Chains A and B, each alone.
Chain A
């Protein structure tokens, strides 16, 4: 479904990604794992068309999308739930959800989708007229997820949804992610939370210093010595 082929990305003179390649197949839940500064978010921004590629291509459903501007990529069904949630803080919960469904099919099905999102996250229905900036961290993350779902994504990209949440909430969010994946949405999850994500995903790519250094099945990598030492501290 998504094929990233040997991309290099730089911020001005500083190169951040070197020859990064990975693939996401339809229906999968793939995790891109890496510590702070490994280049995870940069990779996602390159896919979403916010950063230009120095080298390599990004393909989606067999089409090269590396030259498309950001808003066109959203049209294709790649939906990005950004790091730090990035809600529109002075817009209401309902308006934030509406912003998720601006395009094509998502717009015509807005009411139905919103009903489904409210079923999945009852708290959002309760708070639908409240400004998004006044929600708690966990509620904001649910809203960010809900806003992503409003776009009827083919591929849902999530950047550190566990960031800044309490362990209970983290668990809850990951359960929801798994549920969304089970409903047939392909998910690319970027995380530093190794233990929980490796247990839940199909495949993992490990990014270190801007390079993919490891890949494999989730459970299989849990027993990998490098992963154990570097990320689990065992």
Chain B
């Protein structure tokens, strides 16, 4: 029973951090109607920024994330303004061009990082990396607890931003009906730029929170792209709340898989749930909530 409890709690904590990354992806998907396949690469770049801050300047990852976030926000804005928005303007043969572009961006980012940092596995070791707290008989990693609460904090802040501010409402309005938003005087190309920036910054935040827990190498981005894609589908595309729930579910599923099947198969559990959802609940968990 203790093992089960520990597994579920670990899953929830991990899932909260996954959710933060996926919320970034779902925000971009909602507004731009594209799957950003470079999202994991943005997480990876964010992790490297935090990593460099830690190794070169001794900045703690939880503080380093506040450097990584603005850096990635800027990168995100530039990608949207000078690459994706340009593709929207030209007539393309394939409507999927923008998605293909994100694959290209992902490759460039991954290889650029490989050029700078080699393919070596890296990790940060902080004073609390290996610390654990005990809850009854369950031991839980301190880094996970801190990461979870920061992730939840950011999710809450984003929720307030989207529901309480005019810019946040403009982002939601653009996602729901772009032309109508323009009629209201919303500068839609600025909103898409801002959205991509925020999405990238959230990716960096999620990555930085996971840095004390994961090894870092340039190809780790693929892992996060896959995870956030699965979560986005689980949650019902474009729904922030859905992504939060989807993140928790994926976290718990992986954690259970790692404990009761085998560490090596933990990603498989997530993928099986993904397939089942696609087959039997194509609208994601959001459609369940609608039915209630």
Extra A-B contacts (15), CB below 8 Å, given A74-B184, A86-B179? A70-B183, A87-B177, A88-B172, A88-B177, A89-B177, A90-B172, A90-B176, A91-B176, A99-B169, A99-B173, A99-B184, A102-B166, A102-B170, A102-B185, A103-B185
**Please, which residues of chain A bring their CB within 8 A of the CB of B188?**
70-71
Give residues in B with beta carbon < 8 Å to A. Answer: 166, 169-170, 172-173, 176-177, 179-188
Q: Are B183 and A102 in contact (CB under 8 A)?
A: no
A 64-91 to B, binary, CB cutoff 8 A, 1 in contact else 0? 0000011100110001101000111111
User: What's the Cα separation between A131 and B128 when bound, in Å?
Assistant: 46
Given A71-B188, A88-B177, A98-B166: A48 touches B183 (CB 8 Å cut-off): yes
Q: Are A71 and B187 in contact (CB under 8 A)?
A: yes
- Ranked nearest first, the 10 interchain pairs of A and B with the lowest CB-CB distance are A74-B185, A86-B180, A70-B182, A80-B183, A71-B187, A88-B176, A103-B185, A88-B173, A71-B185, A99-B184
| A contacts with B: majority SS | loop
Residues of A95-153 at the interface with B, using a CB-CB cut-off of 8 Å, are 95, 98-100, 102-103, 107, 147, 151
**Please, which residues of chain A bring their CB within 8 A of the CB of B173?**
88, 91, 99
Indicate if A50 sits at the interface (CB-CB under 8 A). yes
Q: Name the distance in Å between A193's Cβ and chain B's nearest Cβ.
A: 22
User: What's the Cα separation between A121 and B45 when bound, in Å?
Assistant: 52
**Please, which residues of chain A bring their CB within 8 A of the CB of B179?**
50, 82, 86
**Please, which residues of chain A bring their CB within 8 A of the CB of B177?**
86-89
Q: Are B169 and A95 in contact (CB under 8 A)?
A: yes
Q: Name the distance in Å between B183's Cβ and chain A's nearest Cβ.
A: 4
Nearest A residue to B177, CB-CB = A86
Q: Name the distance in Å between A104's Cβ and chain B's nearest Cβ.
A: 9
Given A74-B185, A102-B186: A91 touches B172 (CB 8 Å cut-off): yes
Q: Name the distance in Å between A210's Cβ and chain B's nearest Cβ.
A: 21
**Please, which residues of chain A bring their CB within 8 A of the CB of B172?**
88, 90-91
Q: Are A99 and B182 in contact (CB under 8 A)?
A: no
User: What's the Cα separation between A88 and B168 when bound, in Å?
Assistant: 14
Give residues in A with beta carbon < 8 Å to B. Answer: 48-50, 69-71, 74-75, 79-80, 82, 86-91, 95, 98-100, 102-103, 107, 147, 151
Q: Are A88 and B180 in contact (CB under 8 A)?
A: yes
**Please, which residues of chain A bring their CB within 8 A of the CB of B184?**
74, 99-100, 102, 147, 151
Q: Name the distance in Å between A213's Cβ and chain B's nearest Cβ.
A: 28
**Please, which residues of chain B bring their CB within 8 A of the CB of A74?**
182-185
Q: Are A89 and B186 in contact (CB under 8 A)?
A: no
**Please, which residues of chain B bring their CB within 8 A of the CB of A100?**
184
**Please, which residues of chain B bring their CB within 8 A of the CB of A107?**
166
**Please, which residues of chain B bring their CB within 8 A of the CB of A99?**
169-170, 173, 181, 184, 186
**Please, which residues of chain B bring their CB within 8 A of the CB of A48?**
182-183
User: What's the Cα separation between A196 and B148 when bound, in Å?
Assistant: 61
Nearest A residue to B179, CB-CB = A50
Q: Are A71 and B180 in contact (CB under 8 A)?
A: no
**Please, which residues of chain B bring their CB within 8 A of the CB of A147?**
184
Q: Which of A50, A75, A86, A88 contacts B185 (CB 8 A)?
A: A75
Q: Name the distance in Å between A97's Cβ and chain B's nearest Cβ.
A: 11
**Please, which residues of chain B bring their CB within 8 A of the CB of A98?**
166, 169
User: What's the Cα separation between A102 and B176 when bound, in Å?
Assistant: 17
Q: Are B176 and A71 in contact (CB under 8 A)?
A: no
Nearest A residue to B186, CB-CB = A71
Question: Would you list 8 pairs from A and B whose C-beta atoms are within 8 A, ordered by A residue?
Answer: A50-B179, A71-B187, A74-B185, A86-B177, A87-B177, A89-B176, A89-B177, A98-B166
Give the one of A49, A99, A103, A147 with max B CB within 10 A. A99
Nearest B residue to A12, CB-CB = B91
Given A98-B166, A102-B170: A82 touches B185 (CB 8 Å cut-off): no
Q: Name the distance in Å between B285's Cβ and chain A's nearest Cβ.
A: 16
**Please, which residues of chain B bring their CB within 8 A of the CB of A75?**
185
Q: Name the distance in Å between A183's Cβ and chain B's nearest Cβ.
A: 21
User: What's the Cα separation between A99 and B186 when bound, in Å?
Assistant: 9
Nearest B residue to A100, CB-CB = B184
Q: Are A87 and B185 in contact (CB under 8 A)?
A: no
**Please, which residues of chain A bring their CB within 8 A of the CB of B180?**
82, 86-88
**Please, which residues of chain B bring their CB within 8 A of the CB of A88?**
172-173, 176-177, 180-181
User: What's the Cα separation between A48 and B186 when bound, in Å?
Assistant: 13
Given A71-B188, A98-B166, A99-B169: A79 touches B176 (CB 8 Å cut-off): no
User: What's the Cα separation between A102 and B184 when bound, in Å?
Assistant: 7
